[in-house]
Chains A and B, each alone.
Chain A
């Protein structure tokens, strides 16, 4: 895949994004890219922390890892009751697992999108989040 050059920096975004990701290297990458683009970003290292930050910040979009220690993405979705309690929040489930069962589960339990992490370049991630913010 060839990569598009340069990202269009738009005006600062007000939307708040919650990143729930246990891998520090990716946490930092997502945080940097989204902050750079103008989003307000909060970061959780697992599902439990994610639940707390979800309550506190009511983000517009959650970037949710699936495999995590303590409380994983699946259980996070079950416990959060996104569609019921946070109808305004959009969830991108992103994992490097690519099995149909996990995707189906995430979509059934409140994820709006399921993406393979390794498929998204930074600008594609931003595009996806912009799209969900506008919904």
Chain B
């Protein structure tokens, strides 16, 4: 059903339009009529129509204003003018303003009128769509510009943050490096013989400074992680020997604390596509934590399990444990939990935070199970990206396996 508003003050002309439409009869229509532009504008505000057929000169409107008034009242409705033969120039002007078409009074058949109406409706729809698309494109271009500006702004901020981090870490490390060098000289004999009774004091000062340096390192790492600066450099890495190396490096600490570190590697060598330096920090930190929070004389267990898709490293201790309400906090930044050992342990409260960030970056997970007074177990799961090297160099693999499997790395 096509709804037509006819704006025509001359009743005879109006009748002619009605007859022509009846004649065509293949287009169902409803015809409304207004006798002036003012009337038509009111009508258009009240009611939706599909097309306006209008005389060009009406009692309340000059030819040059008619189109503008009708168009303002219904922007999406196509307007066709019906003019006297000597008014065609005016009609052409209206088309320039946006009218769809014009007809000459008395010079059209019903068929022709219907075709003009149908074309006008389709054309108008197309024009409106095109105009909308253009407007959208303009908006998008504008938004893209804003985004680019925003991006540039963020880039500048990120750079400022990076620069600050670099500078701050440099400035914090330099004086501590001085302390390390000079106390190191005394302790390591670069300044002649050290009276033995002074050694423990200097050793304390040296270790305290080392702790400060490691906190600066933690802060810096955290800032780099936050800034999204950390890019993993993945390479095939032998996890089995990485863990064995960490265990033997930390050996003296375990001896000092009268703890036992039991390493149970998976029967087969585990090779993963990981960033060795970063992942080493994770396990170093977890094993060190396990030792720090475990009383003297107890054990820490490091175990590796491998399935088709995952590798699982478990680090369990017999330490103080973490209360359930604190477990959620420990992977947060500065999420240290106060317990009976935290004062002695020190630390920045960032180790587990960046451990989680690094494991996350690898697409793995890190979880903890803990019971107060009994101990904690940290479980790192990493994806295996390649199938297990089942048959490669079986002899070498066996030798290594015999060598490492089940051996106790440290004894009290």
Q: Which residues does A use to contact B, with CB under 8 Å?
A: 1-7, 9, 23, 25-26, 29-30, 32-33, 36-37, 67, 95-100, 116-118, 121-123
Contact = CB atoms under 8 A, between A and B. Distances in A.
A7 B194 CA distance: 12
15 contacts: A3-B184, A7-B188, A26-B177, A29-B185, A30-B181, A32-B185, A33-B185, A97-B166, A97-B170, A98-B169, A99-B166, A100-B231, A117-B173, A121-B180, A122-B181
B49 to A, nearest CB: 68
Given A25-B178, A33-B181, A97-B166, A118 B190 contact: no
A48 to B, nearest CB: 21
B173 A3 contact: no
A84 to B, nearest CB: 29
- Which range contains the number of B residues in contact with the other chain? 20 to 34
Chain B: interface secondary structure?
helix
Interface string B229-270: 001000000000000000000001000000000000000000
B176 to A, nearest CB: 6
A96 B173 CA distance: 6
Given A2-B252, A96-B169, A123 B188 contact: yes
A13 to B, nearest CB: 14
B187 A36 contact: no
A6 B181 contact: no
Contacts of A5: 187-189
Contacts of A29: 178, 181-182, 185
Contacts of A116: 173
Contacts of B176: 118
A98 B220 contact: yes
Given A3-B206, A97-B166, A117-B173, A26 B181 contact: yes
Closest 9 CB pairs of A and B: A29-B181, A96-B173, A121-B184, A122-B184, A118-B173, A6-B189, A123-B188, A118-B177, A25-B178
Contacts of A32: 185, 190-191
Interface of B: 166, 169-170, 173-174, 176-178, 180-182, 184-185, 187-191, 203, 206-207, 210, 213, 216-217, 220, 231, 252
Nearest to B202: A3
B372 to A, nearest CB: 31
Contact of A67 (B170, B178, B206, B216): B170
A3 B180 CA distance: 11
Contacts of B185: 29, 32-33, 122
A26 B178 contact: yes
A96 B177 CA distance: 9
A108 to B, nearest CB: 16
A134 B184 CA distance: 24
A97 B169 CA distance: 7
Contact of A96 (B170, B187, B188, B252): B170
B126 to A, nearest CB: 55
A5 B166 CA distance: 33
A98 B169 CA distance: 8
A4 B188 CA distance: 7
Nearest to B224: A99
